[in-house]
Structures are given as C-alpha cells and as structure tokens.
Amino acid sequence: MAEEKSFKYVIVGGGVSAGYAAREFFKQGVKPGELAIISREQVPPYERPALSKGYIHLENKATLPNFYVAAGSGGERQFPQWYKEKGIELILGTEIVKADLAAKTLVSGTGQVFKYQTLLAATGSSVIRLSDFGVPGADAKNIFYLRELEDADYLAYAMEVKEKGKAVVVGGGYIGLELSAALKANNLEVTMVYPEPWCMPRLFTAGIASFYEGYYANKGINIVKGTVASGFSTNSNGEVTEVKLKDGRTLEADIVIVGVGGRPIISLFKGQVEEEKGGLKTDGFFKTSLPDVYAIGDVATFPMKLYNEMRRVEHVDHARKSAEQAVKAIKAAEEGNSIPEYDYLPYFYSRAFDLSWQFYGDNVGESVLFGDNDPKSSKPKFGSYWIKEGKVVGAFLEGGTPDENNAIAKLARAQPSVESLEVLSKEGLSFATKI
C-alpha cells in the first residue's frame, strides 16, 4: 500500500490557474508543507499561451524557464526552486485518477493516496482529437495537437525536419490562426481548412474575419473553407502524406496540426458536485456545491456579474484571476472576513505576424465596423463595437496602442448608451477614447 500524504490545501492540475493560485497562497502567508500541486505534466506551471506563440518560432525561440508562471503578467518567474523555498510541494508527472470528495481523498494512477482539507480543481481542458470522431487515419504520425509543452516540443522538432514542407492546419479558431502564422514564419507551405464560413466564428464578425483571411492570403497561406478533414493517407512508415477533405479534394501534407477546440476535464468530479454549462458550478468565490471544493480556470462555471448569467470562460486572463479570487476567498473564510464577489470583464487577445488584437465585453447584438480594415494597408487599424438594447456591450480593436486598448476595455465595462449605429461607425475609435 502506497503511503498516504496529507495537505491542508491541494490543487489538482498544473496549468496557469495552479501557478497563480500558488503565488496567491504564498502572498496570503501559506505555511511550508500546507500546499501541494499535483500535475500530470513534468514541469512546473507555465504560461500556456507561449506554446502557440514564441515557443514554436525556431529563429527566435522562447524557451523554459522564460515563461514559467507568472512571467506572462509581469510577475516573478516561479522556478522549481521557488516552490521549494516556499515549502509548496510540487508533485509532477502524477495523474489523479480518482477523487472521493466526501472522503477528501485523491488517488493517483500509481495508487498514491493524497488527503486534503480544501481542494482546488484546476484540471483545465483537454484537446478534442479527430480520433474521437473516428476519422480514418487520424492517429498517423506527424498529426499534432497543441495543449502541453510536450506537444509543442514534438511540433517544433517536426517543423525542423520537414522544413520547406507542406503543412495543413485543421481548424479556423485561435490555434488555427496562430499556428498558421508560426508555420509560415518557419518557411512551411500552409493550408488552413475549416467548415465555417469565416475564421474565429465564435468571436469575429464577417467584416473582422475578412481582414484576417485577406491578410493571411497575402502572406501566401491557402484557405479552404466550408469543408472538414474526413481522412488521412499515410506512407509505409505510418507518416501522414495527405489530408482527404469531405468535399472530395485532397491536400498534400508533411505535417498536420489540428485545433478544433477543447473540453473541460471534469470526469473526476462527476456526480459529486453540481455542474452547469459543461463545467463545475461555482459561486462568485469559485466555491462549488461542496464547501471545501473550489473550481478555477476552464472548469468553473461562475456567475458573471456584468451580464447576470452563469458563464464558463476558456482564457488565460480568467485562469489567472479566478485562481487569485478563489485563494483570497479561502483565506478570508478562514479568518472570518469577506471579499467582493468576482466581477469579470471578458477579455481575449491574439498576436500573429505583425498583427495584434484585443476584445473586451460581450459579442452579442448588432455590430458596427470602423477604421481601416484593408488587408493590404501598411498599418491596418480597425475595430468593431457590439450594441445590444441601445448600449455598447463589446469592443474589438486591431492595432491599438495600450491606451486605446484600455479605452475599449473601459467602454465595455461602462456599457454607454448610444443613439444609433451610424454615430458609432462615424466616430469609430474616438467614441471610446473620449469616454
């Protein structure tokens, strides 16, 4: 029988949320030996967005330890030594396979038992794989997904081996757009394939998307819309050679990257806590229906005060902030104090090529496009507002300065009234900057 280890606080999962929770626990005066992080990854928590950005740029590669948490928000980098000095136990390469929340017990794949008094579920998301849908040949070599450091290592290696080769990117979301840019920068021929009428359909309007599609096309990226990968051909070594599309076409491929979304990892907790919208249901302090279990990051479905509804958010900004909020709430409860409820403004951003956009708020209602969205412009700068019930509820800006980005964030939180869509399209960015 493996020995039992006992901690006051256990964080299960080792991603961004876990790293920021550890930092907040330290700020709140956690004592050596009280806190453990249990992660199936082999390295301490790191800033996951780096994987699709600097980490796979072969010319000027960002490497660990440069993007350990909390580098991404301008904080101190938490090396393995950082955890050691603070007496925080990092239990890496360890997958929890069973959680008995009534008994406050976790069991690893090797039978190791961990006890806790307070649990933070920070298990994050797993990538959706084409093999989940039974796509023929989907397990061929050189078909990659990007979620963890190891995935990025395999991909970076393949990009070197297949230099000047052909890459097919399946999916038109975040990963699809960022990785197509990275592959192109690394001298591969790139084709993007996605079923929707335009890229990033969950956020972009047709007007926003047409700029990025035009810009990518001008960079020599081939875009195939309205169809999906329905199979893969391989050579005698089991390496992918072509992608078969549902519309009957085939694309030659030396490398395939799939980015078709993720799903929250909540199976450990099934039937033990309340769920909502695919996540674990929490209050404004990230406490679940069990008083000693908190959920943070991708897996939490929480009350979004600004819109008065329950939401689940998959983004690094919320992963950081939800972690800090939960730990503050845990500490406040122990001391008999209270803290304000979480009041989150949705925020998304992306960088690719020389482009950089930010979005704040809610992309619902009618939208208005403003500015110069010609993909051929030397310095494109444009944006969109979303208007619901006479109020501006969301704002998107490409090519903004830090001050302008702050202005659209303020605007999205303030939700000012507006007489007409015409006013917004005429005033454009100045509508936000004058507030």
pLDDT in tens, 32-70: 999 999 999 999 999 999 999 888 887 777 788 889 999
Q: Which two tokens stand for residue 68?
A: 């350990």
Q: What is the mean pLDDT of residues 334-349?
A: 97
430 in helix, strand or coil? helix
Query: CB count, 10 Å around CB of 305?
Result: 14
As a whole number of angstroms, the distance between CA 38 and CA 31 comes to 18
Q: Which two tokens stand for residue 433?
A: 């900057």
As a whole number of angstroms, the distance between CA 88 and CA 106 comes to 18
Phi, psi of 17, deg, nearest 5: -55, -45
As a whole number of angstroms, the distance between CA 348 and CA 12 comes to 25
Q: Which pLDDT score, from 0 to 100, does residue 222 have?
A: 98
Query: CB count, 10 Å around CB of 200?
Result: 21
The whole-chain average pLDDT of the chain stands at 96
Q: What is the mean pLDDT of residues 325-341?
A: 97
Q: Is 62 exposed, middle or buried (0-12, 13-18, 19+ CB in 10 A)?
A: middle
% the chain with pLDDT above 70: 100
Any residues with CB less than 8 A from the CB of 85 and at least 6 apart, and which?
A: none
Q: Are 284 and 259 in contact (CB under 8 A)?
A: no
Instruction: Indicate whether 2 pLDDT > 70.
Output: no
CA torsion sign for 108, 112, 115, 118 is negative
Q: Are 246 and 230 in contact (CB under 8 A)?
A: yes
Instruction: Indicate whether 396 pLDDT > 90.
Output: yes
- Give the model confidence (pLDDT) of 192-229 as tens digits: 999 999 999 999 999 999 999 999 999 999 999 999 99
Q: Report residue 136's pLDDT band, with 50, 70 and 90 as the boundaries.
A: very high
Any residues with CB less than 8 A from the CB of 41 and at least 6 apart, and which?
A: 14, 92, 93, 148, 149, 150
Instruction: Indicate whether 306 pLDDT > 70.
Output: yes
**For 71, which DSSP code?**
G
Q: Tokens 């279990």 label which residue?
A: 293
Q: What is the mean pLDDT of residues 321-329?
A: 98
